[in-house]
Every structure is written in C-alpha cells, then in structure tokens.
Structure 1
Amino acid sequence: MSNELSSVIPNREIPNIYAEQILLIFKNQVSIYDAALETFYTSLVVGNPQEVKQQFAALLRR
C-alpha cells in the first residue's frame, strides 16, 4: 500500500459539488461583510461617531 492520500469519494462530481457549495457560501459571506464595511467607512468619512461606533460593534460581533 502506498503512502499517498487519495479521495475516498469515488464519484468525481461530488468533490466538485462540495467545492462549488463552499465557494458559494464564501461569496455570500464576503458580500455581507462588504456591505457592512462600506457603511462603516462611509460613517468614518462623513464624521458620524455614533454610527461608526455602532457599525464597528456590529462587525466585531460577527
């Protein structure tokens, strides 16, 4: 028996499906953070300290 690791999933499509699902989840999470960061940065630029504080706290809770 060789020391090489191999996939235990015999069907080649299944790893591709897993990869696609993981990428989709990642893409959705990034878009959520992107929107939150944009609000945070906008609050910084316009000088709204209360909104900056709220947005920063929300980002830290995630």
Structure 2
Amino acid sequence: MAGTSADTGFESLDLDSLVLIELAVIPTKQYGIDVAGDELAGAGTVAKVAELLSARGANG
C-alpha cells in the first residue's frame, strides 16, 4: 500500500461498511463517544474520522 496516509480514502484501503460498523464500537467502548458506522463511512478518511471524534469528545 504505497502512499497510504491519514488522507487515504477508505475505499482505497478496502474498508467496507461492515468493517466501519465494527470500528465504530471502539470509540464508544473506550472513550464513551457514540459514533455510527455510516458516520465513519461519510468521513471517508482517517483524518476526517479523527476530526469527527475530536469534535464529539469536546461536545460530549
């Protein structure tokens, strides 16, 4: 995976909706930040997910 970065799209990483739903459980269990798999999918990149979780953590 040459050129992979925080801005690489989830499609390029072959992350499907099931994987994103599974990943959405982690911030809830570890940090109490509720996020849905479709929100992660909508974010599209690790960098955007980090922004989303940071905003949720600050507001929640």
**What TM-score, normalized by structure 2, do the two folds share?**
0.30
By relative contact order (CA 8 Å, sep 6+), the higher-ranking structure is 2
Could you say which structure has the higher helix fraction? 1
Query: Who wins on radius of gyration, i.e. which is larger?
Result: 1
